[in-house]
Amino acid sequence: MLNVVVLISGGGSNLKALIDAAADPAYPARIVAVGADTDAAGLAHAEAAGIPTFVERPGEYPGRDAWGDAFAARIEEFEPGLVVSAGLMRILPAGFVRRFSPRLINTHPALLPLYPGAHAVRDALAAGATETGVTVHVIDEGVDTGPVLRRASVEIARGELEDDLHERIKQLERPLLVQTVREIAQGGIDLAAFRS
Ligand code: GAR
């Protein structure tokens, strides 16, 4: 059984998809804790499922590295085999990445390397793209630059609004993340191959 800590900042629909998948005893991973950098609405999904949560706010630390060290220490209490950033809207400090990568993955709402960063859906629309999607990748020390594990694409409708497109991306993203974690747990994806 793969023990997973999930990190969020927002509504946590991807987290909810993982929690729901892990409710099936046949799913090879379980969510042992959920961490956030703010009082994220999505923490309620964990609380409803009886999963421990923790919040570490960067503003309460003298700098990013100190916050990253504190966040990492909270995560390590749960001895995870995998850490999943599922809508954590924060760049993780290098020291944090070195502690967990390659057993540290992220889901991003674009076909990386296109549209990295915090506004991927908006950026795809602004670029006039006709296609975008979702990428699940290993986190390295860059911003959305780590090795790609799985991707899925979606066509952009003419005149589509950011929120509508993002929701359509998430409809692909949730099952893709659930499937990627399953493959990691079962060994079909060998994260050790990405050790730097
Ligand atoms: C997801 O689409 C995720 O890919 C994105 O935030 C959303 C969180 O949704 N992450 C990023 O943009 C990171 N750069 P959720 O809170 O409903 O799971």
Mean pLDDT of the chain: 98
Which of 8, 105, 107, 178, when mutated, tests ligand 1's pocket best, judged by the most ligand atoms within 8 Å of its CB?
107
pTM assigned to the model: 0.98
Ligand 1, CB within 6 Å, residue ranges = 8, 10-15, 42, 86-87, 89, 107-109, 118, 120, 170, 173
Q: Which uninterrupted H or E stretch holds 1? A: none
- Encoded amino acid at 9, one letter: S
pLDDT at residue number 21: 98
Q: What is the pLDDT of residues 14-52, one digit of tens each?
A: 999 999 999 999 999 999 999 999 999 999 999 999 999
Is residue 196 scored above 90 in pLDDT?
A: no
Q: How confident is the model at residue 153 (pLDDT cuts 50, 70, 90)?
A: very high
As a whole number, mean pLDDT of residues 99-123 equals: 98
pLDDT over 90 for what percent of the chain?
Answer: 99
At 97 the three-state DSSP class reads helix
Q: How confident is the model at residue 128 (pLDDT cuts 50, 70, 90)?
A: very high
- 86 burial (CB, 10 Å; 0-12 / 13-18 / 19+) is buried
As a whole number, mean pLDDT of residues 173-191 equals: 98
Q: Which structural domains are found in the chain, ordered by start?
A: 2-194 (3.40.50.170)
Is residue 132 scored above 90 in pLDDT?
A: yes
Q: How confident is the model at residue 2 (pLDDT cuts 50, 70, 90)?
A: very high
Which of 6, 9, 14, 37, when mutated, tests ligand 1's pocket best, judged by the most ligand atoms within 8 Å of its CB?
14
**Edge-to-edge order in the sheet of strand 82-85:** 53-55, 29-36, 2-8, 82-85, 104-108, 131-138, 148-155
Please state, in angstroms and rounded to a whole number, the distance separating the CA atoms of residues 189 and 14.
Answer: 20
Q: What is the pLDDT of residues 57-92, one digit of tens each?
A: 999 999 999 999 999 999 999 999 999 999 999 999
pLDDT at residue number 83: 99
